[in-house]
Amino acid sequence: MTEDDDDTRFAVETSLRGAGFAVDVATDLPAADEALFVNDYDCVVFDRVLPSGDALLYVKQRRLDGWSAAVLFLTGIDNPLEGLPYGDDYLVKPFAMPELIARVRSLCRLTAVAPPPVLRHAGLELDLGRRTASRAGRALVLTVKEFTVLERLVAAGGDPVRRDELIAAAWDREVPPTSNVLDVVITALRQKLGPPPVVQTVRGFGYRCS
């Protein structure tokens, strides 16, 4: 979500997290643009008017570029409907948090794409429904966090995955990117996967599957 008012941003973030959503926050459009470049989101909540610009114009340009994530505008302007050609829903300030949660949940259901039941890469096979993994036909016994990290790496199809993205997937935002928890999991994964090495370090960035 993108909101410059500290109180509103904290209230919305806390409410959405309490409802079970994973939430990233930004205070302006440049920060939001950076997050959207790195991550795919089911729903993005924009305060309509920000010090860095009009979120409607930003979303309009992204739509022209083919961006398709669901958008919910938070707005206090006189004509909220003008955002609907580019957004999917809106709430007029002040709003009730239960209504915000219901709107976001509805938008997430509309845009959610079921992941493939099985991911495969370099001899690895991950059954996402059964939460099982194997390499070259050999079953792997993985912890929940090991499976989650490996799932993100395999889903990337050989592209590098940022360190902070892997941490966010398996832990939460309270774990700093400099923590060694991810390194411990990567070490364990490499041991369990065996030779030849499949998880490679991308220095200064993160990891990838070779």
Tokens (6 digits) for 10: 């904290």
Predicted pLDDT of residue 175: 66
Q: The whole model's pTM is what?
A: 0.53
Predicted pLDDT of residue 10: 92
Query: Is residue 82 within 8 Å of 146, Cβ to Cβ?
Result: no
Torsion of CA 30, 35, 36, 39, to 10 degrees: 170
Chain segment 30-63, per-residue pLDDT in tens: 999 999 888 888 899 999 888 888 888 898 888 8
What domains lie within the chain, and their CATH numbers? 6-111 (3.40.50.2300), 118-209 (1.10.10.10)
pLDDT band of residue 153 (cuts 50, 70, 90) is very high
Q: Which long-range contacts (CB under 8 A, 24 or more apart) does 170-176 make?
A: 170/144, 170/145, 171/145, 173/24
Predicted pLDDT of residue 177: 61
Single-letter code of the amino acid located at 99: E
The CA–CA distances, whole Å, from 81 to 76, 100, 119 equal 11, 17, 41
Tokens (6 digits) for 141: 């016994």
DSSP secondary structure letters along 81-98: GGGTTTSSEEEESS--HH
- pLDDT reading at 83 higher than 70: no
Buried b (16+ CB within 10 A) or exposed e, 30-66: eebeebbeeeebbbbbbbbebebeebbebbeebeeee
Predicted pLDDT of residue 116: 66
pLDDT band of residue 113 (cuts 50, 70, 90) is low
**Average pLDDT of span 154-167:** 89
Cross-strand partners of 32: none
Contacts of 97 (CB under 8 A, 6+ apart): 11, 12, 15
3-state secondary structure of 162: strand
